Amino acid sequence: MDIASLTASATQSQSASSGAFSQLTDNFDTFLTLLTTQLRNQDPLEPLDTEQFTQQLVQFAGVEQSIQTNSNLEALIALQSTSDRQASLDLVGRVASVNNNEINISGTSNDNIPAFRYTLPQNAETLSLNIVDRNGTIARSLDGQQNAGTHSLIWDGRLENGLNAPAGTYRLEAAASRNDGTAFIPTIETRNLVDGVIFNNGEPQISVGGKLVSLDAVTRVDARF
């Protein structure tokens, strides 16, 4: 085994920090053994090139630092994952606002009240707020405030005829226009009870009114509606 192959072997071990540091240490010990042996048996008239040895030592140091950095990053990722898990569990039983315009209902009176929040960047001359089913059919038209700001909007889960809407996925579609007739789209969020948490490949997802969302989709959390 020559010095160059030892360094190459150590360099390739960076991608697997678990056990890589041990492998690097073994290679470094072998490198030092070779180095001392070569120095002991070198020809005095043709001494070995010390610059080459220095370069090898620098490379080993660089590989060692990379492995330690990877190990530290893995530890930080593990801590963040644990923190995300705990944060998601703490949300159960609370009301979360989610950057989404869809809700799921079971079609019974036992549903949590589906609530929305919509934001108007400026006053609206006209405002259309429609609950639409999966086929794009309007299930219910609602009235809302038209002044600039964020407003709550509650749908009782009923159709225009007063009957409970069938089970399924519904969404709020909003459209507005300014005084000059220019149209713009309000920002929409859904609000519902966090009723569960699942861990998908280690990543937590919360169930908000029966719909799974990631933590980064949550914009606000309240104790109650």
Q: Are residues 86 and 99 in the same domain?
A: no
Report which of residues 104 and 82 the model is more confident about: 104
Q: Are residues 123 and 200 in the same domain?
A: yes
The model's confidence at residue 5, banded by pLDDT at 50, 70 and 90, is very low
Residue 108 belongs to a domain with what CATH number?
2.60.40.4070
Average pLDDT over residues 160-165: 90
Q: Are residues 40 and 110 in the same domain?
A: no
pLDDT of residue 60: 64
Q: Are residues 61 and 100 in the same domain?
A: no
The model's confidence at residue 126, banded by pLDDT at 50, 70 and 90, is very high
Q: Are residues 106 and 147 in the same domain?
A: yes
187-200 vs 115-120, strand pairing mode: antiparallel
Q: 185 is written with which tokens?
A: 């789209």
Residue after which a domain boundary falls, among 72, 90, 108: 90
DSSP 165: P
Q: Are residues 104 and 193 in the same domain?
A: yes
Q: 109 is written with which tokens?
A: 């009176």
Q: Are residues 80 and 100 in the same domain?
A: no
Average pLDDT over residues 133-159: 93
Window from 77-81, 130-134, 143-147, 208-212 with minimum mean pLDDT: 77-81
Residue after which a domain boundary falls, among 37, 62, 90: 90
Q: Are 183 and 192 in contact (CB under 8 A)?
A: no
Structural domains in the chain (count): 2
Distance CA 173, CA 142 (A): 10
> Which residues, listed in sequence order, are joined to residue 117 by a DSSP beta bridge?
152, 189
Distance CA 130, CA 203 (A): 34
Q: 18 is written with which tokens?
A: 């678990």
Q: Are residues 28 and 55 in the same domain?
A: yes
Summarize pLDDT for 51-101 with one digit per residue, the tens: 666 676 667 666 667 766 776 676 665 556 556 667 767 888 888 888 889
- Taking all residues of the chain, what is their mean pLDDT, rounded to a whole number? 77
Distance CA 179, CA 222 (A): 34
Which of the given ranges, 15-19, 68-72, 207-211, has the highest pLDDT on average?
207-211
Q: Are residues 68 and 127 in the same domain?
A: no
pLDDT of residue 81: 56
Q: Are residues 200 and 111 in the same domain?
A: yes
pLDDT of residue 198: 83
Report which of residues 185 and 6 the model is more confident about: 185
**Three-state DSSP state, 43:** strand
> 10 lies in which domain range?
3-90
| pLDDT at residue 175 tops 90 | yes
Distance CA 172, CA 95 (A): 18
Q: Are residues 137 and 51 in the same domain?
A: no
Q: Are residues 111 and 173 in the same domain?
A: yes
pLDDT of residue 38: 67
The model's confidence at residue 15, banded by pLDDT at 50, 70 and 90, is very low
Residue after which a domain boundary falls, among 90, 120, 149: 90
| pLDDT at residue 9 tops 80 | no
